[in-house]
Amino acid sequence: MSIWGLDQNDGKAGREIGGNSSRSVQMNMFSKELLIVSSHAHRNPIKPAIKTTQSCSRIDILGKNFGVENLTEKPSLTHWQKEGILFRMNYKLLLLTLIWQYVHSVATNVAYYLHVQRPPLTDLGFDLLPALSKNFQIISEIMFFICVFLTIGFLVSPFFYPRRNLYFVLMFTRFAGTLVLAQTLRIVCFLVTTLPGPNYHCRPDSPDYAPPKTLMDIFGRQDAFFGCGDLVFSSHTIFVVLCALVWHK
**pLDDT, tens only, 40-94:** 434 444 443 333 344 444 555 555 555 455 555 555 788 888 899 999 999 999 9
Q: Stretch 179-199: mean pLDDT, rounded?
A: 92
Higher pLDDT, 14 or 119: 119
Q: What is the mean pLDDT of the chain?
A: 76
Q: Which residues contact 173 (CB under 8 A, 6 or more apart)?
A: 86, 90, 93, 94
Beta bridge partners of 163: 166
CA distances, 35 to each of 71, 96, 111, 138 (Å)? 21, 44, 63, 62
Residue 48 is predicted with a pLDDT of 35
Contact 186, 236 (CB under 8 A): no
pLDDT tens-digit series, residues 221-238: 888 888 898 888 888 899
Confidence of residue 149 (pLDDT cuts 50, 70, 90): very high
The letter for the amino acid at 70 is: N
Residue 106 above 60 pLDDT?
Answer: yes
Q: Would you list the DSSP string of 137-175?
A: THHHHHHHHHHHHHHHHHHHHHHHS-BTTB-HHHHHHHH
Q: Which backbone phi and psi does 109 adopt, to 5 degrees?
A: -65, -35
C-alpha 222, offset from chain centre: 24
Residue 33 above 50 pLDDT?
Answer: no
The total of other beta-carbon atoms located within 10 Å of residue 141's CB is: 11
Largest CA distance in the chain: 96
Cis preceding-peptide flag for 233 (omega within 30 of 0): yes
DSSP H helical ranges for the chain? 10-15, 21-43, 54-65, 79-114, 124-128, 138-160, 168-192, 215-220, 235-248
Contact 111, 193 (CB under 8 A): no
Confidence of residue 99 (pLDDT cuts 50, 70, 90): very high
pLDDT tens-digit series, residues 162-184: 777 789 999 999 999 999 999 99
148, with CB counted inside 10 A (0-12, 13-18, 19+), is middle
Residue 192 is predicted with a pLDDT of 92
Residue 61 is predicted with a pLDDT of 53
pLDDT tens-digit series, residues 5-19: 444 444 444 444 444
Residue 128 is predicted with a pLDDT of 87
Contact 4, 34 (CB under 8 A): yes
